[in-house]
Amino acid sequence: MRSSDRSAERRGLLIILSSPSGAGKSTLARRLMAWDETLSFSVSATTRAPRDGEEDGVHYHFVDVPGFKHMVEEGEMLEHAHVFGNFYGSPAAPVRKAIEEGRDVLFDVDWQGAQQISNSVLRDHVLSIFVLPPSIKELRRRLETRGQDSAETIGKRMEKSWDEISHWDGYDYVLVNDDLEVSFERLKTIIAAERLRRVQQPGLMGFVRGLQSEFEEVEG
């Protein structure tokens, strides 16, 4: 078997990015998606209203509260949570499909979602990364310059930021997103290494058996 055949048998990773709002996880997620077109983004369902420029089915599936509750009752969500007064959840079916096809799935979810996915049956294939801001002052500055939220919403997001940050130690990796280029390079390094985890390479067993046969034939 050639090495390219082995990598084709790669299992998909569930890559979770969390951070307090404004630390930069969406920016890093967008860059990752552009870096590797085989990555698939888990489009969450949410009951919050779309922001300017957000498209249904691309950034989120925008649903009403009864529609969201129906999805949860039908067992369609891998995880779900109440965040900033709205419901958010990750539909399970597209995730299972991608993983089975050996594609990684990227999640932008809060700590509650990260915890639920990390405790799910797919836990062995989870890579969780927490993004911290370099300072609280800079976090506020980023929320203000993003220009997407009212002063009231920014206030609410800042109030909630410590709650999110306090869960930093439940993640596999933590990135302090000071310089964006440095953070992105580190993120790519983490993903490249995690893809090589033994459990992510189901073809290794067969490959090692092949090595053993060859060993016995050539050396034995």
List of residues contacting ligand 5GP (CB under 6 A):
21, 44, 48, 79, 81, 83-84, 88-90, 108-110, 112-113
Strand order in the sheet with 173-176: 40-41, 105-108, 14-18, 126-132, 173-176
23 or 200: whose CB is closer to ligand 5GP? 23
CB of 189 to ligand ADP, least distance (A): 17
Helices (H) and strands (E) in the chain, counts: 9, 9
Please say which residue, 27 or 201, places its beta carbon nearer to ligand 5GP.
27
Rounded Cα distance, 99 and 54, in Å: 26
Instruction: Establish if 25 lies at the interface with ligand ADP (CB under 6 A).
Output: yes
Q: What is the DSSP string of 93-161?
A: HHHHHHHHTT--EEEE--HHHHHHHHTSTTGGGEEEEEEE-S-HHHHHHHHHHH--S-HHHHHHHHHHH
Residue 144: CB minimum distance to ligand ADP, A: 9
Instruction: Give Dmax over CA atoms of the chain in angstroms.
Output: 74
Site for ligand ADP in 76-115 (CB under 6 A): none
Determine if 47 is a binding residue for ligand ADP (CB under 6 A). Answer: no
12 binds ligand ADP (CB under 6 A): no
18 binds ligand ADP per the rule CB under 6 A? no
Q: List interacting residues with ligand ADP (CB under 6 A).
A: 19, 21-27, 142, 145-146, 177, 180, 183
